[in-house]
Structure 1
Amino acid sequence: MTSVPAPAAQATRPSRPAPGRPGRRALHGRGLIPLLLGPSVLLILVFVVAPAVYGLYLSLTNTQLTGFAARDPQFVGLDNFRSLLGSDDFLTSLGRTGQFVLFSAIIGQTVLGMLAALLLRRTWLRGKGLFGAAILLPMVVPEVVAALTWASVLSSSEDGTFNRMIGLFGGSAAAPLQEWPMLSIVIVNIWRGIAFAMIMFQAALEDVPDELIEASRVDGASAAQVFRYVTLPLIRGPVFLYLLLTTITTVGVFGLVYFLTQGGPGSATELTSIFIFERAFQYSQIGLGSAASVILLALLMVLGLTYVRLTKVEV
């Protein structure tokens, strides 16, 4: 066996870059990152940042769709914001939106979605595929189709599905969309959003170690105690992430409520999204509608920061 001379062995070793100078791979990686992120950043700038900035500009003007203000809009400063903050209609719509988000998204969808995810983890449950498909079905139905379907179900006529069901028990015909409008849209929105909650919570529950749950049960903890003190703290991040996402999407719900009630009867279900639509497009007050959108965006940012602080995640 012949030994390799020291100079030859040193020659076969790959040369290392000098300290302080990036290698070829590092330079290649640095050039690849902007290339990969560039299209996404461009799309965000064009379709998110630019409309938001333009909406902020419109909120400071008296722009309208018709009339002299449509041809020559004037800068009015904070007049639109003062008008909205002094308007009972706008403040009431914010209150209705808060109720709608609280009962349909934060409470209804979260609780029922968590129960559905916990049920799908049970080994004794039969027909999991059918159960999961029934919950996922509302998610794939278009919003307009879902609204028109529920309008037929909750119709005040005797041929409506709801009235037929209560008729089987001897009840008289009712008009849910006129008698209980807010409760009706809350139930419909819960039905539509359970699937997303179930998917997120089921994915989070998969990361909970079974060993911790078994150890808790061995120590004598009940099912409720295991969920409260073991499972829930471990999935705290995904839960608050879901609350953030569902709050944003529920605040922006428009088609589902508009096609069901159009904000009525009267203004019983006039959410802020419907208020903005009416002021901007029905009354042609683009500047006022944009100012309402900016206020709603500011409230959402405050809620988002609150959720992030509750999860103790640094952003």
Structure 2
Amino acid sequence: MTISPEPGADTFGLLSTPGAIFSISHGIDYGADDVELIDCGVYEAAKGAVNLGEGGIGISLVDLWQRVERCRFLSAYYPASGTRAAKIAEAVAGAFDTVDVLILSQGGVYEQGDNLWERDRTQFIADMAKDGALEAAFDASGTFRIRTPPALDGSAPVWTFRTGEASNIVTADRERPLDRLYNTVVMQPMDDSQSWDQQTIVLADIDHPRHPSKIGVVPFFYKSATLNTPAEVTAAGIAIMQRVLGTTETVSITSVGNPALEVGDVVSVVHAATDTDPGFQATHLIDSFQMDLDTGAMSLATRSSTLADLEES
């Protein structure tokens, strides 16, 4: 962002202070002191620059994950037993003791074994999250949220993007990718300290376009550092399958902005029929988005993903 300096103040010195925290809100001014603002993230200054002639200040901001990444372990980390969510929360607090942590899912129990994490705090968090089928990240309010990854629920879209009458879409592209056609997940222990054998999770729905009978067996290999029981391995493998099964369709949208949307929200996409297009209506998950805080314009990438019947083999 570019910020105009305040007269009589060292605005550049203030904004470029190491560790400076910025809370971003965006919304609508209805007039008559009626303003509605939505949290759009809490960030830390990553880089600051000032134009010595005009005085304009350019600031680059990054998610608070940077602080967790920067504050590595001082020595090899040997965590005690406990729920994976609790272990993640402890690791985040070790880097950022003022952060609020919201635990919505526990991710199973980690049993202390021979696992050591040398320095990388974020690698430890990522390992715990993957093995516990968890999503662990900062949300728009700056809270570190630990939850089950969002699932596609066609009965509960929070927003509708539409073309035609009352359109809020500026441009949109629909795509069906034909690569990364995984249909099998192979779960492997990291070392001999884990007392479970390799497990394979296979797409069982013969009507699915990615069933092995149609495209062959396409494996995705995953080595776990923390899973300890066959039941945990199966649960994690199924969660991984639902992610790597791939997207059956993606839509890239440029639209009128809605700052309340988040990655993982379920939205409807409605395209009106034309002379050359029969139109379509679909329910998608938001994969990513960008929003111009100045103009309110938004661009999004969404995906459709149907949970498939899976079986262990």
TM over 0.5: no
Greater share of strand: 2
Q: Which has the larger radius of gyration?
A: 1
Q: TM-score, normalised by structure 1?
A: 0.23
Higher relative contact order structure (alpha carbons within 8 Å, sequence separation ≥ 6) = 1
Greater share of helix: 1
